[in-house]
Amino acid sequence: MESMQINYIAVFVSAVLSFLVGWVWYAPFLFGKIWLKELGLSQQEIENQNMLKIFGGAFILTFIIGFNLAAFLGPEPDFSLGLFYGALAGIGWVSASIGVVYLFSRKSLKLFLIDAGYQVVIYTLMGGIIGVWK
């Protein structure tokens, strides 16, 4: 078995990129207003939460996602393989898992499409970054 060589800088950058994509994806001018409505929350309710806990925890989890994706891609990834495997993971594992949970928790199709769509996009981009940055 080959030793696993993870480029931690690529994982970190891919996690930062996912936050930038999330900032745009969940912004009021894109899907933010619909997302809040589907969750039954107001902007005020969101702003009254512990943002350090939410964003700090989300960043740690996103870093773990990037690390796992890097391990999944193996020792010789490239950009196209990273994009492809990232998209497969985002669609086949993450979105499908979200879909199962949302079905049982009676979440709306709109909410599923917003949240699962974001995951597919970031997994694909993270895979590309990790794949190209050896």
CA distances from 70 to 17, 82, 108, 119 (A): 15, 9, 32, 16
- Rounded to whole angstroms, the Cα distance separating 36 from 32 reads 6
- Rounded to whole angstroms, the Cα distance separating 60 from 78 reads 25
- Rounded to whole angstroms, the Cα distance separating 48 from 72 reads 37
Amino acid identity of 26? Y
Contact between 25 and 129 (Cβ < 8 Å): no
| Structure tokens given for 131 | 């794949």
Tell me the pTM. Answer: 0.93
| Structure tokens given for 100 | 């199962």
Say how far residue 19 (Cα) sits from the centre of its chain: 8
The pLDDT tens digits along the chain (134 residues) read 456 789 999 999 999 999 999 999 999 999 999 999 999 999 899 889 999 999 999 999 999 999 999 999 988 889 999 999 999 999 999 999 999 999 999 999 999 999 999 999 999 999 999 999 97
**pLDDT in the model for residue 1:** 46
